[in-house]
Amino acid sequence: MQLSHIANNPLAKKPVIYGIEGHFLTQQEQDFFRQNGCLGFILFSRNIASKTQVKQLTQQIKQLMQGEVLILIDQEGGRVTRLTSPEWPQFPSGSYFANLYQQNQSLALHAIRQNFAEIGNELKQLGINTNCAPVLDILHKSTHHIIGNRAYGSDPLQVANLGLSACEGLLDAGIMPVIKHIPGHGRANADSHLELPVVDAELSDLINTDFVPFMQLKQQKFAMTAHVLYSKIDADKCTTISSKAIQIIRQTIGFDNILITDDLSMKALKNNVANNALDALQAGCDIVLHCNGNLDEMQQINAVLPTISNQLKNKLT
């Protein structure tokens, strides 16, 4: 995928990725996206019925948007799988590769690269160009089951090594990976879809553990934030809307590429979606993500968003 094609798309007007309501764009959605523009879309189970239908949907999106846009999906394998059987093959969860790594490191690295190359090939056939994977969160005793067996283990270098091979597999297939959830969701003992997790670990401990995989993979093009409050970094705001936390991502971790928020409509964020979008961009995120397909909320977000910056256009080239 040529990201420069997205940067040069005349409808890449706003730094936002939206979810949509159903199997095809409604007329209202088409009118909204044509008039206001965006950088891309993310697909969920509600958008997926069959291979033929998904291909038609991605073609409809590209035709409407006058060319290449980001089309994302969460296809990790295991329980975070949008493309399900029997229409698509099933792929193992992160814990499978974590266990294999303990037995044979080289075999595990080869297997996960091949696994994600196969996932990537499935996505490419559908017209999807970006996968929100791999998960680089470290497994801790306190890790909430929302991460759980999605993780590649409790050893930071193991997670980094497996995560890098997963990225390489996706890139082999021409699919852009999105590493997540930066700077780490593993210590959180709550589900950020439902509430705001708070992590009280010292910054030095985070640097030596949870941050390591993200440091090792800081050259990847995309990363997705964790809606987690790290009290020793910012006692008031979660990462996505915290300039202090994003400064840590940019400087301590060293990730200076494209930072995408996790879903703005998750309950970890307390404000309305428009304020969340503004707060995230002001804190230093590059792109905001809104997943639920609610057109009223999309209109609220669009009303407050600036046009795409030259800085972001440069990152996309």
Active-site residues, by number, are 193, 262
- Is there a contact between 38 and 66 (Cβ–Cβ < 8 Å)? no
List Cβ neighbours of 267 (8 Å cut-off, separation of 6 or more). Answer: 192, 193, 194, 195, 196
Tokens of 232: 């020793």
What's the sign of the alpha-carbon dihedral 92, 160, 104, 107?
positive
- What is the full DSSP assignment across 84-102? -TTTS-----HHHHHHHHH
Tell me how far apart the alpha carbons of residues 147 and 75 are, in angstroms, rounded to a whole number: 14
Which amino acid appears at position 282 of this protein?
Answer: Q
> Torsion-angle region of residue 254: left (phi > 0), alpha (psi -120 to 50) or beta?
left
- Is there a contact between 168 and 119 (Cβ–Cβ < 8 Å)? no
- What is the full DSSP assignment across 15-73? SEEEE-SSSS--HHHHHHHHHH--SEEEE-GGG-S-HHHHHHHHHHHHHHTTS--EEEE
